[in-house]
């Protein structure tokens, strides 16, 4: 099975939602920024707490607990799925159906960071991200969450300007027409390998002289959108 870097979800209303999945590198860099922020706060607070004795140590431990376990949760739930580090790299945490993450899933994915850290330096989490289809660490798998890039546009019609409109050679049902149109509008949201993989499914219904299956499917979709 070819790796796809796009999460596709079909809503009950029949609308296709798409999001680009964030891989290991941007997630690691985002975590590094969040870690530096937490460490900076704790270092500054630790210096101040030296003057407060045992009371200062107690306050220090409380703040450490809040920063370590609640910093990511509060940002993910109340700041659109983005910690400060994730905001820098324009990524966010969402549920697998692309809905905003709630308190329960956010708590689950962050409490399981202990398992992802094992045995050292997030080794288990990194392996899980690299081995799963949607780049999910163990916490994500348990919570039903994914990390995606923030997007504002669902479809981009400029992606079909590079192909010629193609008149379909077979009668198409309404569902088939919708599938061809969705494919035509999503060139920029699927990897090239994934495009070819999907297009080859309808190869038996293409003219024999068709060389590029994805361009043919996209061309039919352009024709269905009104181009002649």
Statement to judge: residues 168 and 143 lie in one domain = no
Which domain does 169 fall in, by range? Answer: 157-224
Residue 157, pLDDT > 60, answer: no
Statement to judge: residues 200 and 117 lie in one domain = no
- Full-model pTM: 0.67
Task: Please say which residue of 99, 126, 149 terminates a domain.
Answer: 149
The mean-pLDDT minimum among 1-10, 40-49, 169-178 falls in 1-10
Locus of tokens 């549920």: 95
Say if 79 falls within a structural domain: yes
pLDDT for position 119: 87
Tokens of 191: 């990897």
- Burial of 110 per CB tally in 10 Å (0-12, 13-18, 19+): buried
Task: Please say which residue of 149, 167, 196 terminates a domain.
Answer: 149
Q: How far apart are CA 117 and CA 139, in angstroms?
A: 11
Say if 181 falls within a structural domain: yes
Say if 204 falls within a structural domain: yes
CA distances from 173 to 168, 180, 213, 226 (A): 12, 11, 20, 17
Statement to judge: residues 138 and 216 lie in one domain = no
Statement to judge: residues 87 and 144 lie in one domain = yes
Statement to judge: residues 107 and 212 lie in one domain = no
Highest mean pLDDT among 113-122, 152-161, 183-192: 113-122
pLDDT for position 1: 38
Confidence grade of residue 11 (pLDDT, cut at 50, 70, 90): low
Task: Please say which residue of 117, 149, 181 terminates a domain.
Answer: 149
The number of domains in the chain is: 2
Mean pLDDT throughout 203-222? Answer: 86
Say if 140 falls within a structural domain: yes
Q: How far apart are CA 88 and CA 98, in angstroms?
A: 20
Q: How far apart are CA 181 and CA 225, in angstroms?
A: 7
* pLDDT tens, position by position, 58-101: 888 899 999 988 999 999 999 999 999 999 999 999 999 888 99
Statement to judge: residues 193 and 117 lie in one domain = no
Say if 1 falls within a structural domain: no
Statement to judge: residues 132 and 179 lie in one domain = no
Say if 82 falls within a structural domain: yes
Question: 128-165 burial by CB neighbour count: b if 16+ within 10 A, else e?
Answer: bbeeeebbbbbbbbebebbbbebeeeeeeeebbeebeb
């Amino acid at each position: 099975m070819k790796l796809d870097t796009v999460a596709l979800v079909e809503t009950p209303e029949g609308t296709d939602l798409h999001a680009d999945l964030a891989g290991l590198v941007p997630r690691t860099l985002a975590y590094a920024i969040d870690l530096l922020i937490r460490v900076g706060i704790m270092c500054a607070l630790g210096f101040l707490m030296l003057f407060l004795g045992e009371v200062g140590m107690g306050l220090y431990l409380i703040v450490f607990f809040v920063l370590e376990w609640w910093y990511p949760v509060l940002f993910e739930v109340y700041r659109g799925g983005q910690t400060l580090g994730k905001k820098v790299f324009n990524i966010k945490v969402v549920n697998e159906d692309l809905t905003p993450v709630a308190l329960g899933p956010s708590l689950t994915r962050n409490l399981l960071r202990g398992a992802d850290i094992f045995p050292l330096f997030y080794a288990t989490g990194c392996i899980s991200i690299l081995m799963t289809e949607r780049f999910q660490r163990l916490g994500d798998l348990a919570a039903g969450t994914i990390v995606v890039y923030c997007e504002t546009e669902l479809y981009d019609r400029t992606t079909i300007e590079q192909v010629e409109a193609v008149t379909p050679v077979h009668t198409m049902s309404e569902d088939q027409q919708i599938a061809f149109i969705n494919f035509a509008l999503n060139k920029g949201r699927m990897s090239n390998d994934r495009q070819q993989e999907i297009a080859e499914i309808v190869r038996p219904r293409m003219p024999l002289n068709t060389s590029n299956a994805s361009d043919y499917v996209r061309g039919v979709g352009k024709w269905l959108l009104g181009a002649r």
